[in-house]
Structure 1
C-alpha cells in the first residue's frame, strides 16, 4: 500500500511538472510570436526583442495598436484619406505628364528637323509643317503665360501689356494649321516609333541588327519586361532597406555588448591591478637588486684587474721596502717627538721664570747667528 501511494504521488508530481513545462514552453513560444509580430508591424520603431521582453505591458500596447495603426504610424482612417489623395494626385500627375511628354516630344521633333535641315535638303512641305508647328507651340505657350489662372492674382499687370487675343493674331494661316494637324499624328507616331526602337536597342543591344518588323514585335513585350525589372528593382530596394534596418539593429546590439565587455574589463583591471602591480614591483625590485649586485661584482673585478696591471711583483717589493723605511723614519720621529714632549713638560714645571730665560736664550741665539753670518761674509770678502 505504501509503495502504491509513493508511486501515485510520484506520478502526480511528474505529471504536474510536465504540464507546467508544457505550459511554460507554450507561453514562451507565444511571447516570441507576439514579439516578432510587433517588430514586423513597426519596422521603423527602434525597439528590440529584449525591450519587449522586459516591458510586457508595452508589448501588449503595441500589439493593440497594430489593429488601428499601419507600419508607417498612420491610422486606418488617415491612411484611407491619404490613399484617396494619392490616387487623385496620380491621376492629375498622369494628365500633366501626358501633356508635358507630348510637348517635349514635339520640341524634340522640331530640334531634330533644325539639325537635319543644316546637313541635308528637306522638302518644302516638311519645312512648312515644322515651321507651322513651332509657331503654334510658341503662341500657345505665350497665351498660357498671359492667361491668369485661379492660383495667380488677376490684378497683376500683363507682360509688356499684352493680351492673349493679341498674341493669337500671330498664329499661322488656318489652312497651314489644318494641314499640320492632319500630318501631326503620322509624324508623331513615326517619331515615337523611332524613339521606342532606340530604347529597345539600348535595352537589348544584341537586337540592333534585326529587322524592323521583328523589333516592332519585340517592342510589344518591352513594357512588360521593363515593368518586371522595375518591380525587381523596387523589391531589391525594399530588401536593401530592411537589411539596412537589420544591420543598424545588429550594430546597436553589437555596440551595447561591446560596451558591456569594456566595462567588465575595466572592473577586472580595477579589481586586480593592485595585486598584479605588487607582484610586478616585487619582481622588478628583485631584478634591480640582482642587476646592482652584478654591477658591483663587475666593478670589483675591474678594480682587481687594474691593480694587477698597475702593480707588478718588482713594484710591490719596492713599495714594500719604501714602506718599511718610511715606517722606521716615522717611528724615529714619533720617538723624538715623545722625548721632546717629555722635556717640554719638564721645562713647563719651572713656570714663568723659565719662559723668560727661554726667550732671552732665543734672542742670544739669534744674535750669535747674525754675528756668525756677518763674520763669515767679512772673511769671505777679505779673502777676495
Structure 2
C-alpha cells in the first residue's frame, strides 16, 4: 500500500532529464553520470527519494542539525579562546613596543614602571599556569625544579604597583588596539574608498608585520582628525565582513565549478572512449577491406610475375636450342632420325616375324626346345665369326 504514495512522491520530483539533473545536483560528489541514471531507472528513483532525507554531503537531516549545533558550540569556544589569546598577544606586543622604545628614546618613569609591572605579572601568571596543570589534566604531575605555584606568586610586584597597573591597563590597551586597527586600516585602504588587489595583499602583510611596523603605520594617519579615524575604523569591520563573505562566495563558486568540471571531464572521457571505439571499428573494417584488395592485387602481381618467368624460361630454352643446333646439324639430325625410324620400322617388322615364328614353334611343343636352343647357339657363333672376319679383313687392308 506504500508503493502508491512513494511512486506519487517520486513522480512529483521530475521526469526524464529533469529528474536526472535534479539527482545529479543533489549528489555532486557521487561518481554517477546521466547515462547511468538512464540505464538504471529504479536506482534513479531511489536516489531521488534519498535526496529528500540527506544533503549534498550525504548527511541526514538530524545528523546535519547536530553537526551545526556542534559547529556553533565550537565557534563559541573558539571566539572565547581567540578573545583571551588576542588580549594576551596585545599585552605581549605592548611589552615589546616598550622594549623597542626604551632602546631608542627615554621612557617616562611611570610608563616604564607600568610596563615592567605588567611584564612581571604576565611571567608569573605563565609560570603558575605551567606549574599548576590541574585545570587541563586530571593527573598529578611532579613539580618542576621543586617549585610550587605559591612560591612563584611571591615574586609578584607590590600590590601598589599592581593596582596602579590595573587602573591604567584598560586605557593603555585601548590605545594599543586602536593603533593596531589604524595600522590595519592604513594597509587595507591606503586611500579611503579605494580597494584593490594591492590593498588586499597589504592587508596580509599588515597582519604578519603589525608588531614591527605599527608605529610607522600609525604615523600615516597622524594628520587626520580623531572623528575621521573613528569613522574609518567603524566601517572597517563591515568592510572586512563583506570581503570575507565575498571570499566564501568565490570559494563556493570555485567548488561548484570544480564539481561541474569533474562531471564534464567524465562526460568528455566517456564520449572520447566512444569515439575511439568507433574509430577502431572504422579502422578495422577499412583495414579488412583494404587487405582483401591488397591480397587480390598481390595475387595478380605474382601471377603476372610467374607468367613472365615462364616466358623468360621458354625464351632461354629457345635461345639455347638456337645456339646449340645449327641448320646443318638440324638437317643431319633429321636424316639420322629418318634412318633410325626406318631401322626401327624394319626391326619392328623383323620382331613381328620372329614373334610369329616363335609362336609357331611354341605350337609344336617342348621337343623342339633343344633344337631351338641349338639354333640360337649356332646363330651366335655365326655372328661372332662374321665380326671376327670383318675385323680381320679391315686389319689386312691397312
Given candidates 263, 266, 270, the residue that maps to 1:252 is 266
Q: Deviations over 1:158-179 (max 9, x none)?
A: 2112111111111111111111
- 1:40 Cα deviation after fit: 2.3
- Does the aligned pair in 1 maintain the 2:134–2:140 contact within 8 Å? no
- Aligned partner of 1:82 in structure 2 is 67
- Name the SS for the 2:134 alignment partner: coil
- 1:282 Cα deviation after fit: 6.9
Given candidates 230, 251, 261, the residue that maps to 2:244 is 230
Q: RMSD value over aligned CA atoms?
A: 3.3
Q: Deviations over 1:330-382 (max 9, x none)?
A: xxxxxxxxxxxxxxxxxxx7579969xx9xxxxxxxxxxxxxxxxxxxxxxxx
- 1:237 Cα deviation after fit: 0.6
Q: Which has the higher contact order (CA 8 A, sep 6+)?
A: 2
- Does the aligned pair in 2 maintain the 1:197–1:216 contact within 8 Å? no
- Aligned partner of 1:139 in structure 2 is 124
Given candidates 274, 283, 286, the residue that maps to 1:269 is 283
- Name the SS for the 2:191 alignment partner: helix
The alignment status of 1:211 with 2:202, answered yes or no, reads: no
The alignment status of 1:94 with 2:108, answered yes or no, reads: no
The alignment status of 1:108 with 2:90, answered yes or no, reads: no
The alignment status of 1:72 with 2:57, answered yes or no, reads: yes
Gaps of 5+ in 1: 1-25, 291-348, 359-384
- Name the SS for the 2:117 alignment partner: helix
Q: Deviations over 1:61-113 (max 9, x none)?
A: 12222222122111122122212211111111111111011111111111111
Matched residue count: 277
Give the structure-2-normalised TM-score.
0.63
- Aligned partner of 1:46 in structure 2 is 31
Q: Deviations over 1:179-221 (max 9, x none)?
A: 1111111111111111111111111112456614222211111
- Aligned partner of 1:120 in structure 2 is 105
Gaps of 5+ in 2: 1-10, 193-219, 305-389
- Does the aligned pair in 1 maintain the 2:181–2:233 contact within 8 Å? yes
Give the structure-1-normalised TM-score.
0.65
- 1:43 Cα deviation after fit: 2.0
- Change beyond 3 A, Cα 1:351–1:87: farther
- Name the SS for the 1:171 alignment partner: coil
